[in-house]
């Protein structure tokens, strides 16, 4: 794989996520569901490059090298650009969109479009597919239909009709049921996005001094029946049966161990740069 590669290495991707296939799988709903479940359980969400002041490259060759070959994770652009390339190579019809993150926001102001998600057209239906939203990542595609509670392996989700913008494009709000309450995750409309749009947004979220990614550690991974999340030193593990457990990670050694073992990132054995960045976390 070199810097000029523009094709997806399906065999390497399937091995990375543990997908067993004797032949190239057909573009069916079963295939989409299987890949959507395995991807966020094996390729973690993380922003270590941003935290270390390194550029985040979102061309396909760079994304494959980082997430597939090198055992690292990434954030939404990296995850969903990789996933889109896999789906397209398998014959799925996929379009890319952008969302405004509502998760964790208290204000009424409209946030910028900084999240990437996909819509997959299959059997006369459209499915929202998104393997890159941190601790609240979907583990299954959901039908693009409003006011329908949809059960996934990691919780219940629904789409609500969002306010239509000036261009009269349909808009939706993705919500998850958290502790018995519906909580908004992001808003999106059906204005198609292109690589140039994601390049611009990626530059913004990875370099703008007020971006949450620049000065904070964010990492997450799904596991069977669990969501594992890390924000700076605060770790949470949500178990579908046992509820949520939280703890503070006091030192760099513990942070490194959690990133490597619980989140599943292949870390360098000794890195003064990484240790210094982890030591500065609030």
Q: What is the dihedral of CA 40, 85, 13, 115, to 10 degrees?
A: -20
- Topology (CATH level 3) of domain 10-279: Arylamine N-acetyltransferase fold (3.30.2140)
> Is-contact 19 100, C-beta < 8 A?
no
pLDDT at residue 3 in the model: 41
Concerning whether 39 is annotated as a catalytic residue, the answer is no
Q: Write out the H or E segment, with its range, that includes residue 279.
A: helix 272-279
Phi then psi for residue 45, to 5 deg, are: -90, 130
Q: How far is CA 191 from the centre of its chain?
A: 20
CA atoms within 13 A on the CB side of 27: 14
List the beta bridge partners of residue 157. Answer: 150, 176
> Is-contact 163 170, C-beta < 8 A?
no
pLDDT tens-place values along the chain, 282 residues long: 334 446 999 999 999 999 998 789 999 999 999 999 999 999 999 999 999 999 999 999 999 999 999 999 999 999 999 999 999 999 999 999 999 999 988 766 789 999 999 999 999 999 999 999 999 999 999 999 999 999 999 999 999 998 765 556 889 999 999 989 999 999 999 999 999 999 999 999 999 999 999 999 999 999 999 999 999 999 999 998 888 999 999 999 999 999 999 999 999 887 899 999 999 999
> Is-contact 140 152, C-beta < 8 A?
yes
pLDDT at residue 23 in the model: 83
Domain range list for the chain: 10-279
Phi then psi for residue 110, to 5 deg, are: -85, 120
pLDDT at residue 166 in the model: 55
pLDDT at residue 2 in the model: 38
Active-site entry in 39, 72, 79, 130: 130
Active-site entry in 36, 39, 79, 115: 115
CB-based burial of residue 167 (10 Å sphere; 0-12 exposed, 13-18 middle, 19+ buried)?
Answer: exposed
Concerning whether 130 is annotated as a catalytic residue, the answer is yes
pLDDT at residue 224 in the model: 96
> Of 41, 20, 160, nearest to 102 (Cα)?
160
> Is-contact 125 143, C-beta < 8 A?
yes
pLDDT at residue 6 in the model: 64
Buried b (16+ CB within 10 A) or exposed e, 115-147: bbbbbbebeeebbbbbbbbbbbbbbbbbebeee
Report field, pTM of the whole predicted structure over 0.85: yes
Active-site entry in 36, 49, 72, 76: 76
Concerning whether 115 is annotated as a catalytic residue, the answer is yes
> Of 203, 238, 206, 207, nearest to 220 (Cα)?
238
pLDDT at residue 138 in the model: 98
pLDDT at residue 104 in the model: 84
List the beta bridge partners of residue 129. Answer: 118
CA 42 vs CA 38, 77, 222: distances in Å? 6, 17, 8
């Amino acid at each position: 794989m070199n810097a000029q590669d523009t094709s997806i290495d399906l065999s390497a991707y399937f091995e990375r996520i543990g997908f067993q296939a004797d032949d190239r799988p057909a573009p069916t709903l079963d295939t989409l569901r299987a890949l959507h479940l395995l991807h966020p359980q094996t390729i973690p969400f993380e922003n270590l490059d941003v935290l270390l002041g390194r550029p985040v490259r979102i061309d396909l060759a760079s994304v494959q090298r980082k997430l597939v070959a090198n055992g690292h994770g990434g954030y939404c652009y990296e995850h969903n650009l990789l996933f889109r390339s896999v789906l397209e190579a398998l014959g799925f019809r996929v379009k890319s969109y952008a969302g405004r993150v509502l998760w964790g926001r208290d204000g009424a102001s409209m946030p910028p479009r900084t999240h990437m998600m996909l819509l997959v057209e299959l059997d006369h239906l459209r499915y929202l597919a998104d393997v890159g939203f941190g601790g609240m990542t979907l583990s299954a595609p959901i039908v693009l239909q409003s006011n329908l509670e949809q059960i996934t392996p990691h919780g219940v989700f629904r789409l609500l009709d969002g306010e239509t913008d000036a261009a009269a494009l349909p808009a939706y709000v993705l919500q998850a049921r958290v502790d018995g309450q519906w909580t908004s995750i992001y808003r999106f409309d059906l204005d198609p996005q292109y690589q140039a749009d994601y390049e611009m947004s990626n530059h913004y979220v990875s370099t703008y001094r007020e971006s949450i990614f620049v000065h904070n550690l964010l990492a997450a991974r799904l596991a069977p029946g669990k969501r594992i999340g890390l924000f700076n030193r605060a770790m949470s593990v949500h178990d579908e049966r046992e509820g949520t457990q939280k703890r503070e990670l006091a030192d760099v050694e513990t942070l490194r161990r959690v990133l490597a073992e619980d989140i599943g990132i292949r870390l360098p054995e000794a890195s003064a740069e990484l240790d210094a960045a982890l030591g500065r976390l609030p």
